[in-house]
Structure 1
């Protein structure tokens, strides 16, 4: 009986003008079962790509006849299925970020850390393997991204592209647009899909515990540290760490996070040595980070590091055509969770939803339908069952969230005060009314305003003369 043909080895193209580096990479890849072809110039690399097929390309940033980023762009255009990783000088993060924006899969710093090189190569080959799979979105993870609008179709395409590389992604969008869902899809469609996806709400962690939660701690490092505890970076080892509401991180913690991302290692609280970590970073915020950088509340260097690729999620009011599709998806799910028959919407109720501004986006739509389904005894939900806010409350998203239970008083009268003073007065009014509507529960008031608890308390401190309105 004839023997089955041996599976051909994966092939790598290595581009560097230093013979020692080429030998080191070739030997490392050979021990992983890869065959490497080594060249020393940009011209030779292009010729090799034109004449042969490679599963991965590793290229230096600086080559005798050009920039490695040019090779990344060339390969992204001509050979999009082949991951290209960049080897760059230690500490040259600007070049690494530029390469990933050009389409590089990931980067490894020189002098080469062979552990990082092996992990990068393994992830790249996994991405290469997934690249040939048919894009059947009807049964895959992207089916969770409900909608048929042009915005959603474009979003699915972008997510599929982002899943193939390891560049940090920053997801922007209003509260309730599905930022964690988008991050989870990027993870599930990428080479790290079989590794952990660890989401963390940065605004929900007390300021004095952020470092311990993210990096871990050693026994006895502070009061209450009765044993060693790994952090969320270690929990996400090999997978993806999703830092939601990253703008709420304190400035001192932003410095340590920047180092952890750049060095791919963390130092647990109380530890003498750093611990290497291999995670992909995806972050998100409903705030405008450009404005936060301008105000000095967010570090510019961290912003550039996490914002290699920006993914914006559109608000629901900009894709009104998706509302019937979302309703058709959500109502049966709500019914299944409650064990009751699925309800439907009458024409007036559907028309009202299409006209509503949805300051809370898809999350608010789900809450409206869940509340209506729970309170209505009829199989068909009417406009009255939805209990939508009055039309005059459908203006700015924050105002709508703040006043769903307490009518908004008239704006402060125009005076000769500055614009900043008038805006402060409006903010004081919104904070007070949110507290009043939530029975002085600051956490509920923060959620009503679309803020994290930490951001809410910060606003309270900045407008310290806010007092809850007297009850009538």
Structure 2
């Protein structure tokens, strides 16, 4: 293992001595200077494993060092030390390329974690040969996105991932985690719109036993569950305003206070977030805090819609069909040329998620080993959807209240699965569990019926 070296830049002798002792105990050889001029002179002679600089220096601002290192030694992680509460400067430094920040007074446990992560980041290879992103495609937009992911994986700066629903924002977040120094620690995704409002604080920050009715034991919360790793806030725009304030504090102070706890707990997580909405527009409407947006939007990464990279559809379709078929132990069917042409011409408002749903349906409907255009059942411009303004002739009382029944389930998908189970079980019972006859009565192929039974856990 090669020797690790550090450059410390701080004009306070006591701080320099504290950092030298701490790093020395971590078996890191440390050189210390008090000014930007001396730091640049030393950087011209020697390469370091990482750099730790104060923001306020006698001959300038630590931001100058960040920019200098980015220009001359971009692979060297540089972290900044800021005055307590001065997070705005830290955010600016990360936008300029700083790896991370730590506030005064310096907490030594937090410092050690930061240093270890910085060293791991510096050890990452230039072009990872054994690790790639989770994205599928060879279009120019995906190539550019993959390059950005590799670069951002080295940093600890918050990343705001924007893009339409179903475009792959969580895959991007997971790729950033997998390719970075936190890859061996947890990656935890939080759907901000799926957690009931009254449970959000407890879910994120944890609670102590007896803090509220039903709190029968201590709960660590998702921040602690992701300790050392990455916490991904999906649909972050759905956070209520009161929780936005608490999340902002957790990000700024790198601490959380469990519900009912007397004190705060230090956390070490990287924050990534995403939403299909425009956070800028949500800020303008007053539904999203501008200061939180500023903290989260240190780096913005846009995920292209599927219609913007249609040349990736053939390889995506092949991979998705292999996945669908493998899940039920079947050989994947081929796509006819007409089916592929139809997919290439479709706009995919639901993006890759919609493509997967279309292919899954086609897989169950096709009779042979080839999916034809008719099996895709792509929506057409003539398709219409019933609304409250267009009631059926029979009237609202002539049909079951599916909406009310749906509300009793966690999601629409769960409710639709329940209906499908009821239909399949009824058909099997009516045909004395003869699957061939049941498939015929339902107007589907035997393979389609068997696939649906396996998918819903009814094949036994």
* CA distance, structure 2, for counterparts of residue 437 and residue 93 of structure 1: 52
Q: Is 1:129 aligned to residue 120 of structure 2? A: no
Residues 281-292 of structure 1 correspond to what in structure 2 (within 5 A)?
A: 281-292=271-282
Q: CA deviation at 1:328?
A: 1.6
The residue aligned with 1:429 is: none
The residue aligned with 2:131 is: 140
Residues 91-240 of structure 1 correspond to what in structure 2 (within 5 A)?
A: 91-130=85-124, 132=125, 134-136=127-129, 139-142=130-133, 144-240=134-230
Give the 3 Å change call, closer, same or farther, for CA 381–98 of structure 1 in structure 2.
same
The residue aligned with 2:372 is: 382
Give the 3 Å change call, closer, same or farther, for CA 447–299 of structure 1 in structure 2.
farther
SS of the aligned residue for 2:274 comes to: strand
- Give the one of 71, 81, 84 matched to 2:78: 84
- TM-score, normalization by structure 2: 0.84
| Residue-by-residue CA offset, 1:22-59 (whole Å, 9 max, x unaligned) | 11111110011101100111111111111011000001
SS of the aligned residue for 2:330 comes to: coil
Give the 3 Å change call, closer, same or farther, for CA 443–327 of structure 1 in structure 2.
farther
Give the 3 Å change call, closer, same or farther, for CA 332–27 of structure 1 in structure 2.
same
* CA distance, structure 2, for counterparts of residue 106 and residue 206 of structure 1: 32
SS of the aligned residue for 1:230 comes to: coil
Q: Is 1:39 aligned to residue 33 of structure 2? A: yes
- Give the one of 325, 346, 354 matched to 2:344: 354
Give the 3 Å change call, closer, same or farther, for CA 410–359 of structure 1 in structure 2.
farther
Give the 3 Å change call, closer, same or farther, for CA 242–155 of structure 1 in structure 2.
same
Q: CA deviation at 1:254?
A: 0.6
RMSD: 2.1
| 1:346 and 1:380 in contact (8 A); partners too | yes
Q: Who wins on radius of gyration, i.e. which is larger? A: 2
* CA distance, structure 1, for counterparts of residue 277 and residue 10 of structure 2: 42
Unaligned runs of 5+ in 1: 1-6, 394-402, 412-431, 449-472
* CA distance, structure 1, for counterparts of residue 208 and residue 411 of structure 2: 33
SS of the aligned residue for 2:80 comes to: strand
The residue aligned with 1:63 is: 57
Q: CA deviation at 1:409?
A: 9.8
Q: CA deviation at 1:310?
A: 0.6
* CA distance, structure 2, for counterparts of residue 370 and residue 218 of structure 1: 44
Q: CA deviation at 1:239?
A: 0.5
| Residue-by-residue CA offset, 1:325-383 (whole Å, 9 max, x unaligned) | 10121111211112111111111111111111101100000110011101212111111
SS of the aligned residue for 1:284 comes to: strand
- TM-score, normalization by structure 1: 0.82
| 1:438 and 1:445 in contact (8 A); partners too | no
- Give the one of 295, 304, 315 matched to 1:305: 295
* CA distance, structure 2, for counterparts of residue 381 and residue 243 of structure 1: 37
| Residue-by-residue CA offset, 1:176-195 (whole Å, 9 max, x unaligned) | 01111111111111111111
Residues 268-283 of structure 1 correspond to what in structure 2 (within 5 A)?
A: 268-283=258-273
Q: CA deviation at 1:442?
A: 5.2
| Length, aligned pairs only | 404
Q: CA deviation at 1:119?
A: 0.6
The residue aligned with 2:12 is: 18
Q: CA deviation at 1:9?
A: 2.7
